[in-house]
Amino acid sequence: MSNTDIQPILQVEHLKKYFHTPHGILHAVDDVSFSLNKGETLGVVGESGCGKSTLGRTILRLHEPTEGKVFFEGQEVTSLDKRRMKALRKDMQIIFQDPFASLNPRMTVSETIAESLLIQKIFTRKQSDQLRKRVAELMEYVGLSTKLVNSYPHELDGGRRQRIGIARVLALDPKFIVCDEPVSALDVSIQAQILNLMQDLQDELGLTYLFITHDLSVVKHLSNDIIVMYLGQMVEKSSSSILFEHPTHPYTQALLSAIPVPDPEYEVQRVPLKGELTSPLDPALGCRFAKRCPYVRAACLVDDIPLKEIAPGHYVACTLV
């Protein structure tokens, strides 16, 4: 990964996404800010329902943000009109979690990959030869045999389907990709193949990733920086190595200690967590993790806890630090 060009490609400022539900306002993403440098990977971790997918989608304006701004290469994404936004989508893409649900079952592999090229008018239908050539190129690039051009998704296994998802994103030559749990549905041996592919692509094309996952070992393997989310809020942010060596927020500590380590000699020192994730519907003031936190005290419940920089680049939202 190149560190020569350290101008942020993406800046997110006080991003909020609330959903109005019959039971109240759901704070899916609540005041998240960060910036991401070109060619780097930012990991976003948290449990189901913490708002990590909503964050990824709101950045791409697949959800309209409730408040806050997103800048991509200095340009404010959140205020663009439809036409400009569509043009920008070439640069900002997403790989979805479920390779079974995110592909159209009635389109062949080549149609799926060609579709994005046609929509963005990189090729027109008349240029079928060039289009075919480009699709074949892309398939080869992501390790799909060109024999499969006319196959349908149901004929393929999860790993190959995810490769289609990657190929159709790469077709547009994007700069920034939101990867929303791209390997969660895959078996470990296939998962490793896809992770290696994504790393190679990043190195070759200088891609920037926002890597959303619940799997901490995957995130550690790939990311430069990591954000830990809990009920819509960022509770800790730091470089990957610092986070794993000095997890500071009690939630991060609990999350790290809960991962089953594939080594029988590893001593488990678990930070016990009471209860389960509560819902982010009309959250009360104060720390949202307080109910499950083993160190909770009165000060935690008074007011929202701001992020505090405890070391250069290491931010934690906790009254104990």
Cα distance from N-terminal residue to C-terminal residue, the chain:
33
Residues 213 to 232 in contact with another protein, rule: CB under 8 A: 214, 216-218, 220-221
- For residue 193, state whether it binds another protein (rule: CB under 8 A): yes
The percent helix, strand, coil of the chain (3-state, each to 5) is 35, 25, 40
> What is the 8-class DSSP label of residue 268?
P
- Residue 300 in tokens: 């935690």
Structural tokens at position 88? 């920008």
Residue labelled with tokens 């935690």: 300
The residue (of 8 and 158) whose beta carbon lies closer to another protein is 158
Tell me how many degrees the CA angle 160-118-163 measures, rounded to the nearest 5: 10
**Which two three-digit tokens encode residue 255?**
């999350």
Q: Is residue 84 within the footprint of another protein (CB under 8 A)?
A: no
Binding residue (CB under 8 A) for another protein from 273, 296, 316, 317: 273
| 14 versus 274: smaller Cβ distance to another protein | 274
Q: In one letter, which amino acid is 319?
A: T
Selected from 4, 7, 48, 269, the binder of another protein by CB under 8 A is 48
For another protein, the closer CB: 15 or 287: 287
- 3-state secondary structure at position 137: helix
x/- contact string, 231-270, with another protein (CB under 8 A)?
-------------x---------xxxxxxxxxxxxx-x-x
Residue 68 or 182 with smaller CB distance to another protein: 182
- How many residues make contact with another protein (CB under 8 A)? 40
Residue placing its CB nearer to another protein in the complex, 171 or 255? 255
Task: Count Cβ atoms below 10 Å from residue 262 Cβ, excluding itself.
Answer: 8
- Give the one residue of 107, 148, 195, 310 binding another protein; rule: CB under 8 A: 195
Closest CB 103 distance from another protein, rounded Å: 18
- Nearest distance from C-beta of residue 273 to another protein, angstroms: 5
Q: What is the Cβ-side half-sphere exposure of residue 204, based on CA atoms within 13 angstroms?
A: 10
**3-state SS of 42-87?**
EEEECCCCCCHHHHHHHHCCCCCCCEEEEEECCEEHHHCCHHHHHH
Report the C-alpha gap between 214 and 32 in whole angstroms: 18
Please select the residue that binds another protein; options are 277, 307, 310, 320, rule is CB under 8 A. Answer: 277
- Residue 298 touches another protein, criterion: CB under 8 A: no
CA dihedral 101, 104, 106, 110 (to 10 degrees): -120
CB-nearer residue toward another protein: 76 or 200: 200
Question: What residue ranges bind another protein (CB under 8 A)?
Answer: 47-48, 157-159, 187-193, 195-196, 199, 214, 216-218, 220-221, 244, 254-266, 268, 270, 273, 276-277
